[in-house]
């Protein structure tokens, strides 16, 4: 006899200690962030517009790959206005950063990424996110972390966000790691509310995301979560202890 059951729901809580972020810039389903340019294009153009063969030419309005991004992901928007200036003459670092709410924007030294940065004239910037993710589920759930380029073309040309994975079981930060070309002088401005990250849960289970403003809970999650990628041993040691305590 076979017993079939629905996949159980996986709940992830995102907690912040900043009320403004909670109120105005929550993490939400990406279908709330569908760009206006996509809404305004027709499904097809006639061949007399672009002189194409056949009667019509389809547009991105009919692209399943585009639609699935916004159907199956969540979006992390930028919670502050920021300005990044790349100029070798501005100071000894060759750059200046500023965020309207005091958000930390820091840079890892190039040696940490070896030739990836030094051979490509790249400079790293990390946006310190006010969100901590947390799940009490007994099993891991990986989230694909990719740039929201359809909403923010600057992520194609000016600010590169590398693909990564996150696992919020037991707690994890949501800092945004980026790279810029340091070989030319540049001034980059990004508005608050600009979509930055598409977060895709890698599961067929139903996923529910809840956002909370709770400074005490935020501090508790922060205290048990490794915050630096250099703490690899600490990260995996804590995950092993978590599995042991839960009998996995």
Beta strands in the chain (DSSP E): 10-16, 28-29, 44-46, 56-58, 74-77, 82-86, 95-99, 105-106, 122-127, 131-134, 142-147, 164-167, 172-173, 176-181, 186-190, 195-201, 207-213
pTM of the model: 0.84
From the list 239, 180, 217, 209, the residue with the least C-alpha distance to 31 is: 209
| pLDDT score for 44 | 81
SS3 85: strand
- What is the per-residue pLDDT for 47? 62
pLDDT tens-digit readout, 180-233? 998 889 999 999 999 999 999 999 889 999 999 999 999 988 887 755 444 555
pLDDT of residue 136: 83
Q: Say if residues 172 and 225 touch (Cβ distance below 8 Å).
A: yes
User: Do the Cβ atoms of 45 and 53 come closer than 8 Å?
Assistant: no
In this prediction, residue 230 carries a pLDDT of 46
- Pair of tokens at residue 106: 């820091």
CATH 2.70.40.10 assigned to 10-27+74-245 = yes
So what's the pLDDT on residue 233?
A: 53
pLDDT value at residue 147: 96
Question: Residue 56's CB: how many other CB atoms inside 10 A?
Answer: 13
CB atoms within 10 A of CB 105: 19
pLDDT (0 to 100) of residue 6: 55
Radius of gyration from C-alpha coordinates of the chain: 21
How far apart CA 64 and CA 179 sit, in angstroms, is: 29
- List the chain pLDDT tens, one digit each, 248 residues: 455 555 578 999 999 999 999 999 999 999 999 999 999 988 887 666 555 555 677 888 889 999 999 999 999 999 999 999 999 888 888 899 999 988 999 998 888 887 777 766 889 999 999 999 999 887 888 999 999 999 999 999 899 999 999 999 877 889 999 999 988 899 999 999 999 999 999 998 899 999 999 999 999 888 877 554 445 555 556 555 555 554 43
pLDDT of residue 214: 97
What is the predicted pLDDT for the residue at 134?
Answer: 92
What integer pLDDT is reported at residue 246 of this predicted model?
46
**Per the structure block, which two tokens stand in for 5?**
């059951």
């Amino acid at each position: 006899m076979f017993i079939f059951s629905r996949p159980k729901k996986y709940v992830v809580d995102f907690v912040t200690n900043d009320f403004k972020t909670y109120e105005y810039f929550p993490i939400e389903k990406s279908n709330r962030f569908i760009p206006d340019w996509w809404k305004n294009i027709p499904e097809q153009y006639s061949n007399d517009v672009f002189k194409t063969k056949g009667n019509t030419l389809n547009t991105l309005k009919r692209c399943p790959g585009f639609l699935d991004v916004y159907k199956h992901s969540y979006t992390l928007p930028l919670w502050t206005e920021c300005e990044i200036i790349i100029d070798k003459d501005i100071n000894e670092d060759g750059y200046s950063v500023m965020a309207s709410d005091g958000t930390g924007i820091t840079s890892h030294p190039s040696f940490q990424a070896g030739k990836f940065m030094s051979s490509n004239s790249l400079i790293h910037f990390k946006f310190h996110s006010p969100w901590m993710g947390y799940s009490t589920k007994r099993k891991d759930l990986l989230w694909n972390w990719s740039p929201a380029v359809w909403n923010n073309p600057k992520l194609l040309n000016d600010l590169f966000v590398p693909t990564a994975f996150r696992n919020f079981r037991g707690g994890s930060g949501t800092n945004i790691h980026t790279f810029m070309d340091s070989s030319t002088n540049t001034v980059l401005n990004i508005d608050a509310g600009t979509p930055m990250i598409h977060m895709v849960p890698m599961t067929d289970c139903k996923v529910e995301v809840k956002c909370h403003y709770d400074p005490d809970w935020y501090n508790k999650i922060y205290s048990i979560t490794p915050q630096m990628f250099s703490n690899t041993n600490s990260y995996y040691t804590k995950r092993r202890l978590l599995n042991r305590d839960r009998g996995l």
